[in-house]
Amino acid sequence: MTDVDDPADHGDVADPTELAERVRDGEFRLHELDDHADRASAAAARRRLLEAETGADLDAVGGYAFDAADTEGNVENLLGAVQVPMGVAGPLPIDGGAVSGERYLPLATTEGALVASVNRGCGVIRAAGGASARVLKSRMTRAPVFRVAGVGEAERVVEWVRNHRETLREAAESTTSHGELVDVTPYVVGDSVFLRFGYDTKDAMGMNMATIATQAASEVVERETPAALVALSGNLCTDKKPAAINAVEGRGRSVVADVEIPAAVVEERLHAPPAAIAEVNTRKNHLGSAKASSLGFNAQAANVVAAAFLATGQDAAQVVEGANAITSVEVRKRALYASVSLASLEVGTVGGGTTLPTQSEALSVLGVGGGGDPPGANADALAEVIAAGALAGELSLLGALASSNLASAHEQLGR
């Protein structure tokens, strides 16, 4: 009998139906299909197998625009693709640190009324002369946890780290040609020592970069101190989980967008006076969120962040941190001031899902595809546009609530 562990014994098999049968016969496993056929044929074989075993029709899943071979590094056991409708909001005029002028914001979503809501907010900002946006901090973090004998050893480890930051920087940066180690912050909990490494990852979102660099730095810590590495991620990073440390210290890009809107524009476009908008924000976004012990003091920032992430190939699970946002609104003399502060917006314009065709096209619409000049400029620009888009969404929803139009808008546009 042929040794199924040796792909060379089989050669490449092009027929998906035959491949599916060989999986059903136990000759090899689903994940081994890529060893016996090109990636597209392997994906087709998985669809054939699932159709036979579940009765599902996967024709739509099998209709995708990208080259299957280009998804290696993005997904395992490739089956096909899920298509999410994409709309566009804008133009949105922004005066940013990395972006200047009008931008259109692609948004991928299945929630009716979302794109219309953001688009309305863009119109309000446009009528007000545009929004300002700035990235105030850029740090991708990874926080390994080490074991020590007790607080005495913990103190020695912390002291060593504080006195040898350059040694850790050299070790971390030896693994990357782009990333820079910016800071290392120690935390002690009993016999556990956490080191929160913060990196400037330029135009990459940088989670993989930070992980690999931190592994190298952690090996130095183990070699030079009594600390023993327990886990490369100790959850003080914090990745893809609600965490106050991200709301306070930031992760990825910490970005703020604001606008001052003449009172006449507020009443004409949002159908409510500035005082009513401000009251809804205070009672809903601030008091309601505080009573709920929410980490997000906003109306719908996650909506815009999620839709922009899906459209531009970001890590969708990091919407958890992206929704760490505070919306501020106050009445000024004959105007309404509004801002949204996103403490931990993790975005990149190179690597990961940004290289896929539709996502790459969406980044091109924004004018931020690929690496920036200087490095990091494109990711900063993307963060500023998303923040301004989130501000547009906040204004629109607050206006709908203040004018009692929320239900009717969803009734008309949602389903």
Looking at the fold, whether 255 and 376 belong to one and the same domain comes out as yes
| Domain end point (choices 83, 104, 129) | 83
Structure confidence at residue 405 as a pLDDT band (50, 70, 90): low
Range in 68-72, 163-167, 324-328 the model is least confident about: 68-72
- Asked whether residue 191 falls in the same domain as residue 269, the answer is no
Predicted confidence band of residue 357 (pLDDT cuts 50, 70, 90): very high
Q: pLDDT higher for 178 or 264? A: 264
Q: Which of 17-26, 138-147, 213-222, 406-415 shows the lowest per-residue confidence on average (mean pLDDT)? A: 406-415
Pick from 349, 345, 347: which is nearest to 368 by CA?
Answer: 349
Identify whether residues 256 and 353 lie together within a single domain.
Answer: yes
Clarify whether residues 377 and 260 are in a common domain: yes
Banded model confidence at residue 285, pLDDT cuts 50, 70, 90:
very high
Q: What is the pLDDT of residue 3?
A: 35
SS3 312: helix
| 1 found inside a domain | no
pLDDT of 288 higher than 80 = yes
Q: What is the pLDDT of residue 310?
A: 98
- Within 10 Å of residue 337's Cβ, how many Cβ atoms? 15
The domain spanning residue 273 has which CATH number?
3.90.770.10
- How many angstroms separate the CA atoms of 301 and 329, rounded? 15
pLDDT at 51 exceeding the cut of 90: yes
Query: What pLDDT sits at residue 204?
Result: 96
Are residues 250 and 313 part of one domain? yes
CB 376 within 8 A of CB 354: no
In terms of domains, do 106 and 187 share one? no
Q: How far apart are the first and last CA of the chain?
A: 56
Q: CA-CA distance, 272 to 403, in Å (whole number)?
A: 6
In a domain, 5, yes or no: no
Q: Tell me how many domains the chain contains.
A: 3
- Residue range 187-194: mean pLDDT, rounded: 98
With respect to residue 355, please indicate whether it lies within any of the assigned structural domains: yes
In the predicted structure, residue 289 carries a pLDDT above the cut 60: yes
Our CA dihedral for 280, 286, 291, 296, rounded to 10 degrees, sits at 120
Let me know if residue 199 belongs to a domain. yes
The whole-chain average pLDDT of the chain stands at 93
Of 215, 219, 176, 179, the closest CA to residue 199 belongs to 179
**C-alpha 413: how far from chain center:** 27
> Which parts of 312-391 are beta strand (E)?
325-332, 335-345
What single-letter DSSP state applies at residue 30? G
pLDDT of 97 above 50: yes
236 occurs within a structural domain: no
Closest C-alpha to 394, from 302, 289, 292, 268: 302
How far apart are the C-alpha atoms of 140 and 347, rounded to whole Å? 10
pLDDT per residue as tens digits for the range 5-32: 343 344 466 799 999 999 999 998 999 9
Residues 208 and 354 reside in one and the same domain: no
Residue type, 327: T
CA atoms within 13 A on the CB side of 325: 33
CA 40 – CA 69 distance, rounded (Å): 7
Helix (H, G, I), strand (E, B) or coil at 379: helix
Of 61, 83, 105, the one marking the end of a domain is 83
Q: What is the pLDDT of residue 338?
A: 98
Q: Which residues are catalytic?
A: 111, 315, 410
Q: Does the pLDDT value for residue 216 go beyond 90? A: yes
Domain contains 94: yes
Burial of 21 (0-12, 13-18, 19+ CB in 10 A): middle
pLDDT (0 to 100) of residue 4: 35
Q: Does 278 lie in the same domain as 368?
A: yes
Domain that holds residue 408: 86-138+243-413
**Is 17 inside a domain boundary?**
no
- 19 and 37 in contact (C-beta within 8 Å)? yes
Report pTM.
0.92
pLDDT of the residue at 404: 82
pLDDT of residue 9: 41
CA distance 71 to 356: 8
Do 190 and 215 fall into the same domain?
Answer: yes
Residues 306 and 360 in one domain: yes
Domain match, 303 and 370 both: yes
Instruction: Write out the two tokens for 286.
Output: 């601030």
Give the span between the Cα atoms of 166 and 355, in whole angstroms.
Answer: 34
Same domain, 192 and 302: no
Q: What is the pLDDT of residue 14?
A: 74
Q: Single out the residue in 59, 83, 107 at which a domain terminates.
A: 83
pLDDT in tens, 300-341: 999 999 999 999 999 999 999 999 999 999 999 999 999 999
Q: What is the CATH number of the domain that holds 153?
A: 3.30.70.420
Q: Token digits for 380?
A: 């900063």
Q: What is the pLDDT of residue 371?
A: 95
**Residues 269, 227: Cα–Cα separation, whole Å:** 60
In a domain, 18, yes or no: no
Is the pLDDT score of 237 beyond 80? yes
HEC profile for 112-160? CCHHHHHHHHHHHHHHCCCEEEEEEEEEEEECCEEECCCHHHHHHHHHH
